[in-house]
Structure 1
Amino acid sequence: MTDSSSSASPDTLALNEAAAEWLVRRQDASWSAADEQELHAWLAARPAHRQAYSRVARTWEDLSQAPRPALASDAQAAGRPSPRLPRRGSRKASVQPGFWGAVLGQPGFSKAFAAVCAALVLGGGYGWYRWDNTPGYVLSVSTAAGEVRRLDLPDGSRVALNFGSTLEVRYYPRRRELVLNQGEGFFDVAPDTGRPFTVDARQSRITVVGTAFNVRNTPEEVIVKVSHGRVRVQPDRDKARPELSLGAEQGVTVDARNATYQAVAAVPDGVGGWRNGRLVYRRTPLGEVAQEVAQYLGKPVTLASPGLKSLPVSGFAATNAPAAFLEALPDLLPVQVKRAPGGGYLIQDR
């Protein structure tokens, strides 16, 4: 086992942590002139503050040099046709527009009039039931290792799908239903009060009308974080209560075993930051950080003691350089990071 540790003093660690938090805050769209003045005052208070800020800034700049993953939208922006199918090794995407999808897509055709026509054609209550429960648009897509895809849905909603993910989409006349079977997705939902938009992940359900949020579905838990707007989360969709209401900068973690849940914070500019190849943390618990970084490492990141889970982490990690981020942790936290022969990492108290 190789060792990555630091002999930094507790004072240095505290200053590095404070400097990292300033750096992350400064990336937020909400950063104001008053915030800038407050930062300058902090830097001027002690030479050690300036040194810590420069030291941490250099570290994160080095970690940010690696290019982000290529996206399908990059090809479109460059004027080249974007491939619509997953890369080799991922399951083939299937799209079925359906009869009513084709009808509703005709220019000038009223959705309300289409609904009346559907009821008349299909006949009576059963006909209405069939119409209401026949999807007009169906999509199944999965992503391979290292693949990130962006999807434009017919209602104007957009989905970014992280690597190793599987998503099913079904649009009905009066509802939009998606199932994230595994992996991670960022959903930017077009408002439509007449058709709620739901995402199921394991036993949990997220319901919105129009907002942007991120869902990560792992074997251990489901994590929901809101970028803007509001969402409703049912930790266990088979039970009407509790139903949680989340706004911007809010999130929740749901245990996959028993649907117990815990509130978590969401960094506004960090929700779905993986789309641009960067993970953003602001006082994020080390336990959550370790789990997310392990996904990109492809190897386990183990915490040696339960007390390490709650240590706050602030900083940036490049999704294609997760090892470099882990090896920089001893500069921010009182920990040692040891590399295992198999490629995994062990984080211990120092």
Structure 2
Amino acid sequence: MTDHSLSQDEYDAITDAAAHWCMRLHADDCSAQERVAFEQWLAADPLHAFEYQAMLEIWDVAGDLPRPEPIAVPMVPAKHQTPWRTFGMAAAVCALALPLAAYSGWNLGWLPNSYQHFETTNNVRQVTLNDGSKVELNLGTELTYSNYKDQRRITLKKGEAFFSVTHDTSHPFVVKAAEGKIRVTGTKFNVWMYEDQVKVNLIEGSVLVSSNDDLPGDGLRLGPSMQASYGRGDYIPRIRQTYDNDNSLAWLNGKLVLDDLALSEALPLINRYLATPLMVADNSTGAIRIGGIYNIKELNTLVTNLPKVLPVYLTRNEEGNPVLNSIPQKPPKS
């Protein structure tokens, strides 16, 4: 980094450049020469890389912006036309960058006036959002928080989180997870996500769960001690009652509890913590049952230990994933 304190104008110039490169690298007509120039700019100062990474996060938020109604614009020659999505994203990035959430964008509900990004790797972490809500993040979790005029929005990119939401009936709290969403005003609930599978456990208050953000309506209402689950293509979530012995929140104490589950049911819970997912070779292997209490920080050792406690052996598939295979049963002697 430069060895002198930057003036506001110098810092703004770097932010401007980061916004410019973010827009150009996302453009279809970005040339090879531009990409070389970008790499040179990025390597010139560590602050450039820092600002560019921040701009990518803002761009990610801009990609989720609600789209305004089409606006009539003067016709221009075809070679000068810019796709609406690219223009809208670019405008959003610029509005967010200098400064974050221009007044008009905030007032129309297009841009947030507050943005936070959180990510965990090997430790559970508790964070406080700008609205005062508390969030506990499990291992390997990533989410963003954006405060819009009409809603508070969480985007859960991966992992699991427990939310204690500050009550505000006029400013609902919405969690986007996979293809669906969870809408609340103030409550306590847990959201678990692995690939396109999502489970929502309600502890206190009420939530509305939708399995697809594009479907009309706000979804199905959960009461305390209820769970909703959905996956890709589900029209409505599946709802079930939970009981006092439910172990969905054991991760808050650093544990994963598998209560006599079939391997096909247990693997998504285990794979959430693994760098390389564990797989089963066939349905008969998937039907083998597993139980026990495991430390979420030590689940990598579970993979190698499973053949010691279950009638299975490990192989590797072509992608390098570990695969569990059931050991054939010997026929009884006649």
TM-score class normalised by the smaller sequence = 0.5 to 0.7
Show the 5 A alignment for 1:59-138: 130=107, 132-138=109-115
Superposed CA offset, 1:22-75 (max 9, x none): xxxxxxxxxxxxxxxxxxxxxxxxxxxxxxxxxxxxxxxxxxxxxxxxxxxxxx
Q: Which structure 1 residue ranges, 5 or more long, are not aligned?
A: 1-90, 96-125
1:204 positional shift:
0.2
Q: Please name the residue that 1:211 is paired with.
A: 187
Superposed CA offset, 1:272-329 (max 9, x none): 3323311134455542321121232433322344366577755422112225656469
1:205 positional shift:
0.6
Does 2:213 match 1:237? Answer: yes
Residue identity opposite 1:167 in structure 2: L
CA pair 304-128 structure 1, distance change in 2 beyond 3 A = closer
Choose the corresponding residue for 1:226, options 197, 202, 221. Answer: 202
CA pair 242-190 structure 1, distance change in 2 beyond 3 A = closer
Superposed CA offset, 1:117-164 (max 9, x none): xxxxxxxxx979716555332112333x32432211133311122333
The DSSP-based 3-state class of the residue aligned with 2:270 is helix
Using CA pairs under 8 Å that are at least 6 residues apart, name the structure with larger relative contact order, 1 or 2. 1
TM-score of the pair, normalised by structure 2: 0.55
Q: Please name the residue that 2:158 is paired with.
A: 182
Q: Please name the residue that 2:326 is paired with.
A: 348
Q: Please name the residue that 1:280 is paired with.
A: 257
Percent of residue pairs identical: 27
Q: Please name the residue that 2:168 is paired with.
A: 192
Q: Please name the residue that 1:162 is paired with.
A: 138
Larger radius of gyration: 2
The DSSP-based 3-state class of the residue aligned with 2:297 is coil
Q: Please name the residue that 2:272 is paired with.
A: 295
Distance 2:285 2:237 in 1: 20
Residue 213 of structure 1 contacts residue 224 of structure 1 at CA under 8 Å; is this kept in 2? yes
CA pair 304-158 structure 1, distance change in 2 beyond 3 A = same
Superposed CA offset, 1:223-278 (max 9, x none): 22223332211101111258222233322332225556434565666333323311
The DSSP-based 3-state class of the residue aligned with 1:321 is helix
Distance 1:214 1:257 in 2: 22
Residue 147 of structure 1 contacts residue 163 of structure 1 at CA under 8 Å; is this kept in 2? yes
Choose the corresponding residue for 1:337, options 309, 312, 333. Answer: 312
Does 2:277 match 1:317? Answer: no
CA pair 159-304 structure 1, distance change in 2 beyond 3 A = same
Residue 267 of structure 1 contacts residue 282 of structure 1 at CA under 8 Å; is this kept in 2? no
Residue identity opposite 2:174 in structure 1: T
The DSSP-based 3-state class of the residue aligned with 1:141 is strand
CA pair 147-206 structure 1, distance change in 2 beyond 3 A = same
Choose the corresponding residue for 2:238, options 262, 276, 293. Answer: 262
Provide the alpha-carbon RMSD of the alignment.
3.8
Residue 129 of structure 2 contacts residue 145 of structure 2 at CA under 8 Å; is this kept in 1? no
Does 2:235 match 1:246? Answer: no
The DSSP-based 3-state class of the residue aligned with 1:270 is coil
Q: Please name the residue that 1:64 is paired with.
A: none
1:186 positional shift:
1.8
Residue 136 of structure 1 contacts residue 171 of structure 1 at CA under 8 Å; is this kept in 2? yes
Distance 1:241 1:330 in 2: 49
CA pair 288-245 structure 1, distance change in 2 beyond 3 A = farther
CA pair 208-317 structure 1, distance change in 2 beyond 3 A = same
Residue 148 of structure 1 contacts residue 162 of structure 1 at CA under 8 Å; is this kept in 2? yes
Distance 2:221 2:260 in 1: 22
TM-score of the pair, normalised by structure 1: 0.53
Distance 1:190 1:137 in 2: 16
Distance 2:209 2:118 in 1: 24
Q: Please name the residue that 1:9 is paired with.
A: none
Q: Which structure 2 residue ranges, 5 or more long, are not aligned?
A: 1-52, 59-102, 330-334
Distance 2:207 2:176 in 1: 13
Distance 1:242 1:347 in 2: 43
